Amino acid sequence: MKLGKVEFCHFLQLIALFLCFSGMSQAELSRSRSKPYFQSGRSRTKRSWVWNQFFVLEEYMGSDPLYVGKLHSDVDKGDGSIKYILSGEGASSIFIIDENTGDIHATKRLDREEQAYYTLRAQALDRLTNKPVEPESEFVIKIQDINDNEPKFLDGPYTAGVPEMSPVGTSVVQVTATDADDPTYGNSARVVYSILQGQPYFSVEPKTGVIKTALPNMDREAKDQYLLVIQAKDMVGQNGGLSGTTSVTVTLTDVNDNPPRFPRRSYQYNVPESLPVASVVARIKAADADIGANAEMEYKIVDGDGLGIFKISVDKDTQEGIITIQKELDFEAKTSYTLRIEAANKDADPRFLSLGPFSDTTTVKIIVEDVDEPPVFSSPLYPMEVSEATQVGNIIGTVAAHDPDSSNSPVRYSIDRNTDLERYFNIDANSGVITTAKSLDRETNAIHNITVLAMESQNPSQVGRGYVAITILDINDNAPEFAMDYETTVCENAQPGQVIQKISAVDRDEPSNGHQFYFSLTTDASNNHNFSLKDNKDNTASILTRRNGFRRQEQSVYYLPVFIVDSGSPSLSSTNTLTIRVCDCDADGIAQTCNAEAYVLPAGLSTGALIAILACVLTLLVLILLIVTMRRRKKEPLIFDEERDIRENIVRYDDEGGGEEDTEAFDMAALRNLNVIRDSKTRRDVTPEIQFLGRPTFKSIPDNVIFREFIWERLKEADVDPGAPPYDSLQTYAFEGNGSVAESLSSLDSISSNSDQNYDYLSDWGPRFKRLADMYGTGQESLYS
């Protein structure tokens, strides 16, 4: 009959108990010989402990305490005078002893994996005196192991990789299971390995747990991952043994076993001829089932008529072949190109070369499309030369451009004025002839770089650019001059023939043979008795003294005119004045002071006196400034005229009638008479730059002229009068002309007029017009009655 796991464990426990009881029964019958033990007051006796090493089975599941063994001494006569005590690990808590019989029992379930043995101490005592009759002895209780722990994979689950196409028996990974049972007792900890899932691709070594490949030519491209289940079973794999499992994920790593292949045998692309150089024409890609470094490609053009026009490179991210332009395309020259392109793996594996060539080829045809191109100049750069003495309108050179398209449209030329801001040059729009438009100066600009634009007549948006470099040739048009502003001094104690200054010259011209200058004194200065000039023949000259005894009191400054001539053709000359100051020098000839008044001061005022005078002047200036400031703080009206300015008055009308009462604040003559002279009001805070003496009186001239002049005068005064207040003012234009038959048209003057107009009807308009009716309807008599 086949036993279950629990039944089998119980069976093993019963066998172990039987063996223990048999051994202990044998031990109780024997006597151990040891050293004698002396007890006080008694004769020497021999040690008489009777026992054996104790064993107890783990995982006891019974309800009664488990019998472990028995302690017995020969001194014990069985009369109850001896008692046994137990101490040490687990005493009283796990192990108990019958003090009368010496029987030891285990009261708890024991686990060998928690503690494999217990060390205890036993002693036999006299029950009456409680003194030991035997010396204390130490013994061990070992826990007997049973197969109660299954193997465990502490490092699982596992992941591993193995190259694809590996031969049979290639090691993949080693798995290890551990069993907590006692490896020294029985087969409880002896583990064997087996594979439950993953066959027939992999196998496992039963004793070592090494997983190996079991099939050849496993292809990653077909299946790249496998899941294995490995079992570890104790009891050497026999029935009744315990087992544990783990999973192992095995990934096939890639090898370069697949050659690249183009999906198509030929490709065709259309590109415009205007595509710039280095532009991408097309992208092609050869397929490769491999991944990573095994799929890296190399592309090259192996044949075709576009070897120098196109090139191909690889995109390292996508492994595509990128076809780009190396030279400009021209539809008129060639309309299509054919390329033979090869793709190959960068690193081929020699083990798989027998599978075939690891490369592939395809054909790429590129069609060039015609576009409307801008005009093209016959040369990218036109160098030209012209003398700076050339006349305006002279021809400098000619540029030429043509339309490269088949239509060959006419071309018109112009100059890009951004490159010729001063407009020194012109170009003939039809012929491309460049001429001068202004006088040229090499010293201002020696080279002019201009851009010439060529436009198609039929399509002005197509513009070509040509570049012209115009070099201005030099002529001798600049006279030489001093190289710098010289500060020349002569010491009062200078000796005749002493060099006081070395001069040189510069010339803005650049003759081809270099500069050569000639120095001399002017005719007027050549006979002076103070200084002379020596030409050093190296474009320099020396100024020398002719006498001694220079005194600042007599003359502090000398002016020496120097005549300089260049070697140009024709030669140019200039006269430059050298200023020479007389100075007081020390013993080394170094100027100390050149002030002519330095000798006058000691004879006149001292330095202290000068400082006192300056202090007085500063004090007076401060006093004057304070007085002016105090006066400006006084509040005074801005306008001298104390009369009220009519332009500042605001008249409020509380009735609708108007009349003479409302006009008392105004000067009626200003509205009726043009010839009234206005006094210009002068402001205190403004200094007028222009003073108007008065307005001109008008003569008898046509009325339209009078009106125009009148309005013009008023407008001019309002615009330019510096004495006008800084606020808006009313300008009066109520002028009707001298000698007018109608005289004034103002209603303000209607009171004294002899008008025949009858205004009696105003009284019929109601109370609102009563005032006007009283003024004009009843006549002058009733008005003042």
**What's the sign of the alpha-carbon dihedral 584, 590, 593, 596?**
positive
440 and 340 within one domain: no
Q: What is the mean pLDDT of residues 192-204?
A: 92
Q: How far is CA 677 from the centre of its chain?
A: 75
Among residues 593, 618, 652, which one ends one of the domains?
593
The count of C-alpha atoms lying within 13 angstroms of the C-alpha of 167, restricted to the half-sphere facing its C-beta, is 2
- Do the domain assignments include residue 651? no
Quickly tell me which residue has 């650049």 as its tokens.
510
414 and 335 within one domain: no
Among residues 253, 283, 306, which one ends one of the domains?
253
Which of 404, 335, 400, 414 lies closest to 372, judged by CA?
A: 404
Q: What is the pLDDT of residues 566-581, one digit of tens each?
A: 988 888 899 999 999 9
- Do the domain assignments include residue 656? no
Which of 538, 395, 575, 386 lies closest to 475, judged by CA?
A: 386
488 and 469 within one domain: no
- Do the domain assignments include residue 563? yes
Give the chain's domain count.
Answer: 5
Q: What is the pLDDT of residues 306-337, one digit of tens each?
A: 888 999 999 999 999 999 999 999 888 899 99
Task: Answer yes or no: is pLDDT of 154 > 60.
Answer: yes
- Do the domain assignments include residue 283? yes
pTM, 2 dp: 0.44
Cα 433 to Cα 68, 388, 411, 450, 723: the distances in Å are 130, 18, 13, 14, 63
Q: What is the pLDDT at residue 24? A: 40
Which of 665, 670, 652 lies closest to 746, judged by CA?
A: 670
Q: What is the pLDDT at residue 696? A: 44
Question: Are 323 and 226 contacting, i.e. CB atoms less than 8 angstroms apart?
Answer: no
Among residues 105, 124, 144, which one ends one of the domains?
144
Question: Are 440 and 452 contacting, i.e. CB atoms less than 8 angstroms apart?
Answer: no
- What count of other Cβ atoms lies within 10 Å of the Cβ of residue 257? 20
Q: In what order do the strands lie in the sheet with 336-345?
A: 266-272, 359-369, 336-345, 297-304
Q: What is the pLDDT at residue 725? A: 58
Question: Are 488 and 576 contacting, i.e. CB atoms less than 8 angstroms apart?
Answer: no
Which of 708, 636, 639, 727 lies closest to 679, judged by CA?
A: 639
Residue percentage of the chain with pLDDT more than 90: 36
Q: What is the pLDDT at residue 303? A: 93
Which segment of 106-115, 403-412, 698-707 scores lowest on mean pLDDT? 698-707
Question: Are 134 and 49 contacting, i.e. CB atoms less than 8 angstroms apart?
Answer: yes
272 and 247 within one domain: no
- Do the domain assignments include residue 303? yes
114 and 167 within one domain: no
433 and 485 within one domain: no
291 and 235 within one domain: no
- Do the domain assignments include residue 40? no
Quickly tell me which residue has 């991408």 as its tokens.
280
- Do the domain assignments include residue 190? yes
510 and 586 within one domain: yes
Interior/surface letters 671-699, b for 16+ CB within 10 angstroms, e for the rest: bbebeeeeebeebeeeeeeeeeeeeeebe
Q: What is the pLDDT of residues 516-563, one digit of tens each?
A: 999 999 988 888 889 999 999 999 999 999 988 889 888 889 999 999
404 and 507 within one domain: no
348 and 324 within one domain: yes
Q: Which residue has the higher pLDDT, 261 or 63?
A: 261
128 and 66 within one domain: yes
118 and 139 within one domain: yes
We report the CATH number of the domain holding residue 106 as: 2.60.40.60
What is the band of 780 on the pLDDT scale with cuts at 50, 70, 90?
very low
Q: What is the pLDDT at residue 700? A: 47
Domain range enclosing 165: 152-253
- Do the domain assignments include residue 449? yes
